[in-house]
Structure 1
Amino acid sequence: MKVTIDEISPVQKRLSVEISSDVVLKELNETYAKLNKKVKIKGFRPGKVPRKIIEKFYSDQVKSEVIDTLISKTLPKAIEDARLIPILHPQLDSASPIKAGETFSYSVTVDLWPEFEVTDYKGIEIEKPEITVTDQEVEEQLEALRRHFGAIEAVEEDRPLETNDIAIIDYSGEIDGEPVEGLDEKDYYLEVGKGYFNEEFERAIIGMAVGSERTIEITYPDDAINEKVAGKTVYYNVVLKGIKKRILPELNDEFAQKFSPDYKTIDDLRERLKKQILADKEEAVRSSLRNQILDKLVSGVDFPVPERLIEAKLDQMIDNISGHLHERGVDLEKAGISQDRLKEKMREDAIKQVKTELILDKIADKEDVKVENEELARHIDQSSTQIDREELLAALVQHVLPKLRAKKTLDLLLEHAVIRQAASEADAMDQTRD
């Protein structure tokens, strides 16, 4: 076996392997011999089929199997001899045909663990924001509850569309006089002024009367995610078919009692909401502290990241977005979202996430952070029993174990961090005046 190495980048090498003709012939003969014992060809007893007959029917299958076998047998040794430490399974680039009496060669791309050092990761200085819950925040939550439990009724009076109304519209979009697929809907419910659709569009339909039509011109930025409209001007033809509005329940004791028998008055509900907001803010602060640590770790060390790791992270992020859209009955194509544009927008975030994972993994090795078997066992017990236990364990080791280890590492860093109380908004304003 002859091995040559070409450097593509500091974290990527191309490994070319050449295998001698006698090894190729030996593997061919062994594969045909095994196949001879299994094949059933009319007129021949099992194991007594002439080689030429087997080659006639199974040549392509045997050659493919021999290629897989030769690569699987030689690649680990080639990587070991080259003293490479792959971070991903090597990617096959090319393979020569299999021919008796000739050498066989193949090449793979090997993505490597980047070389870097992480120092001073204990004692990182971070700021803990001050937590307060205002009366306004509580009232906003109450309003959200009112909206959720409100009834939607048609507007009977003869009046134009207003902010906060629910417009029932038909719309279709054109670019350069041609209709655009995906930019049209019938009986679409649009809550005006919430920004769920397009703020400029929503402002433009205010004042329309039921039964009226209006053409709305919207120019989209060049980096719009929907590639159909990016950098283009769309003319929407809009028909207002109806107006509805939310009828909100009164904020009284009766409203509070709908949520729990423990709430006797509306003030009881307010107190419960205040506690929930406080708990949410405390969780947000914990998240903020962790993010500050991660930001300082990433900014403190620079190293190249294998492109395949970035692509894998981007695919994962797009799958998450696609899953959220699917829950709403929409897919990326129907939403007009280009995967390429999404990847372009999310690339920097993906690189940061990959670097974060690699840095935490490096620290976990240095600090000997381990995930105990009992922790994995709890995940197995909490998972569906319909899945084979061995398959489930393999999936947990691949996907859950790294996350658990990263979390424990981050908890360790947070435990050793220097946490300073951030100045309140009032104090910050006083300092500014001084």
Structure 2
Amino acid sequence: MEYNVEDLSPVKRKITVQVPAEEANAAIMTSIAMYRMQADVKGFRKGKVPSSVVESRYRKQIYGEATTDLINYQINEIMSGLSIQPMSRIDVDAKELERDTDFTYSIEFEVAPKLDLPEYKGLAVEEVKAVVSPEEIAEVEERILQNNAEVKVIEEVRPAKTGEVATLTFGAYQDGKIVEGIQAENFDLVLGEGQSLPEFEELVKTLSSGEEGETEITFPEDFINEGLAGQTVTMKCKVHAVKQRFTPEMSDEVAKKAGFSDVETMRKGIEESYAGQRKQMNQSAAQSKLLGDIIESITEFPLPPSMVEDRIDRLIQDLEYKLDRQGKGLQSLGKTPQQMRDEFKDEAERTVKTEIFLLAVAAEEGLEISPEEIEATLSQLAMQTRQPLHELKKYYEDNNLIVPLKDRLLCDKASELIYDAAKVTEIEPPVAGKAAAKEEAPAKEEAAEGSITFDNKAEAVEWAVANLGIKESTAKSYSLAKLQERAEKFLAEKED
């Protein structure tokens, strides 16, 4: 075998391979021998069928497999000899082997461009301190207390109040038919926690145990179920019972139910857990910032087009997955496939540029990924996805995903090496968003003299979370107009 390497571009190579007739014949004979061992031909014992008969009967399969096996073997041999790592699929241009005939074929693939590495060790970076506030610990304690609260039916026949629990059966109706997904039986609704739309809670607050009622509700334009967004339905509801929650005082007994020996151990455990998670998050953010600064300093270099396209595909798949979890599809964005690809192009190019840089660092530092590390990563993925390890491993092998996995692990190692060598300075954390909102809210209310106007929905959501005590996800499900209405009602009630 002889071959010639041609540079089609800074990131693309073409290799032309010439195989003498003797090697071609040997590949064909090897394939015939494999088929001869398994061939079942009437009149011959298994394994004793003449080669000429086997070749005649299975010619198409034999020559096809001989060609594929020879090319695959030679590609591995060539790549190892040249120390080249393809960054794309290898495109093969080849005909089929023929007896007693020289065989010529070519392959094309993309490679990483040559990169002059900048200084990447000993660089300065700031990392936010992992600080846990007493308020955060108190929030966790409150959740633990709520989880241990006793719920008892109120004997007095009356509607439920804010803070109480109403057990009810409800459903949304359009044209007299139930709306799929907006219905429940014996559902415990805690009033005042933003678990449902305000209009529905107002209906529930008018019904005593055993009573039924209905009201028309218009879903917000940005309702999580886009099929119902902006539509009006009739909500029907029957209250079965009104209950009151009795929250216990914090004690060692409550702490034990939460898995701790006592209250002091519980609080220490909460603080350590928060601090550990926050340390990891802050370090990851600082590491990303450091890496981003290094990448920005590198002179522009050509990127393998197929790598960029592959990253765009992944970004769109991630977006599709997120939208699917919200009950939406890509079509809800109102953009063409090409528009989405264009929007993701810059991000994809940054990702590819970062990967090429980190792989270059890994090569410079002699970093390697052992088979044991690959196995451990696949084991972890198998546990996360609840798949048998052997099936996941076969999937990665059959779809040529082992090399990309190895590259990802190499990139992680290189990134950690860069951060470990950096000069890290800890800085104080910024003022928390909720705390700042709570400090600003009274001033806003006073200046507005009983009224408030939001410039955008993000501002309205932040205000609602800080002042109305509802969850952020719930606030986001409301329209800007509805949040404005709730804010004005809140301020009016406060004045009264």
AA at the equivalent of 2:86: I
**Cα deviations by residue, 1:174-194 (Å, 9 ceiling, x for unpaired):** 9xxxx99xx745439788888
Q: Tell me, in whole angstroms, the C-alpha distance in 2 between the residues paired with 1:37 and 1:408.
A: 47
AA at the equivalent of 1:124: L
Q: TM-score, normalised by structure 1?
A: 0.63
1:328 counterpart residue number: none
2:421 to 396, 416, 423: 416
Deviation at 1:367, TM superposition (A): 3.1
Asked if the contact 1:127–1:421 (Cα under 8 Å) also holds between the matched residues in 2, the reply is yes
Give structure 2 stretches of 5+ with no counterpart: 205-211, 383-387, 437-496
1:273 counterpart residue number: 270
1:360 counterpart residue number: 358
- What secondary structure, in the 3-state scheme, does the structure 2 residue paired with 1:126 have? strand
Residues 185-334 of structure 1: pairs in structure 2 closer than 5 A? 186-187=183-184, 202=197, 205-209=200-204, 211-212=213-214, 214=216, 216-219=218-221, 235=231, 237=233, 239-241=235-237, 247=245, 249-253=247-251, 254-259=253-258, 262-263=261-262, 269-270=266-267, 272-301=269-298, 302-303=300-301, 304-305=303-304, 307-308=306-307, 311=310
1:11 counterpart residue number: 11
AA at the equivalent of 1:365: A
2:488 counterpart residue number: none
Deviation at 1:42, TM superposition (A): 0.9
CA separation of 1:162/1:168 partners in 2, compared to 1, >3 Å: closer, same or farther? Answer: farther
Q: Tell me, in whole angstroms, the C-alpha distance in 1 between the residues paired with 2:332 and 2:13.
A: 26
The answer to whether residue 38 in structure 2 is matched with residue 31 in structure 1 is no
**Cα deviations by residue, 1:307-327 (Å, 9 ceiling, x for unpaired):** 3476379659969997xx9xx
Asked if the contact 1:172–1:236 (Cα under 8 Å) also holds between the matched residues in 2, the reply is no
- What secondary structure, in the 3-state scheme, does the structure 1 residue paired with 2:231 have? strand
Q: Tell me, in whole angstroms, the C-alpha distance in 1 between the residues paired with 2:374 and 2:110.
A: 32
CA separation of 1:145/1:252 partners in 2, compared to 1, >3 Å: closer, same or farther? Answer: closer
Q: Tell me, in whole angstroms, the C-alpha distance in 1 between the residues paired with 2:12 and 2:312.
A: 17
- What secondary structure, in the 3-state scheme, does the structure 1 residue paired with 2:58 have? helix
AA at the equivalent of 1:360: L
Deviation at 1:122, TM superposition (A): 1.8
Residues 93-132 of structure 1: pairs in structure 2 closer than 5 A? 95-96=94-95, 108-132=107-131
**Cα deviations by residue, 1:316-353 (Å, 9 ceiling, x for unpaired):** 9969997xx9xxxxx95995555998996877666555
**Cα deviations by residue, 1:340-377 (Å, 9 ceiling, x for unpaired):** 9899687766655554443233223323446789x859
Q: Tell me, in whole angstroms, the C-alpha distance in 2 between the residues paired with 1:246 and 1:104.
A: 85
1:432 counterpart residue number: none
Deviation at 1:121, TM superposition (A): 1.0
> Between the two proteins, what is the percent identity of the paired residues?
15
Asked if the contact 1:41–1:49 (Cα under 8 Å) also holds between the matched residues in 2, the reply is no
Q: Tell me, in whole angstroms, the C-alpha distance in 1 between the residues paired with 2:246 and 2:93.
A: 66
Q: Tell me, in whole angstroms, the C-alpha distance in 2 between the residues paired with 1:137 and 1:5.
A: 62
Deviation at 1:160, TM superposition (A): 9.1
Q: Tell me, in whole angstroms, the C-alpha distance in 2 between the residues paired with 1:16 and 1:206.
A: 74
Q: Tell me, in whole angstroms, the C-alpha distance in 1 between the residues paired with 2:220 and 2:151.
A: 29
Q: Tell me, in whole angstroms, the C-alpha distance in 1 between the residues paired with 2:250 and 2:51.
A: 92
Asked if the contact 1:146–1:248 (Cα under 8 Å) also holds between the matched residues in 2, the reply is no
- What secondary structure, in the 3-state scheme, does the structure 1 residue paired with 2:202 have? coil
Asked if the contact 2:16–2:107 (Cα under 8 Å) also holds between the matched residues in 1, the reply is yes
Give structure 1 stretches of 5+ with no counterpart: 326-330, 430-434
Q: Tell me, in whole angstroms, the C-alpha distance in 2 between the residues paired with 1:40 and 1:118.
A: 60
Q: State how many pairs are aligned.
A: 392
CA separation of 1:360/1:158 partners in 2, compared to 1, >3 Å: closer, same or farther? Answer: same
2:75 counterpart residue number: 75
Asked if the contact 1:12–1:306 (Cα under 8 Å) also holds between the matched residues in 2, the reply is no
- What secondary structure, in the 3-state scheme, does the structure 1 residue paired with 2:249 have? coil
Between 1:336-345 and 1:301-310, the stretch displaced more is 336-345
AA at the equivalent of 1:414: Y
Deviation at 1:117, TM superposition (A): 2.5
Asked if the contact 1:126–1:289 (Cα under 8 Å) also holds between the matched residues in 2, the reply is yes
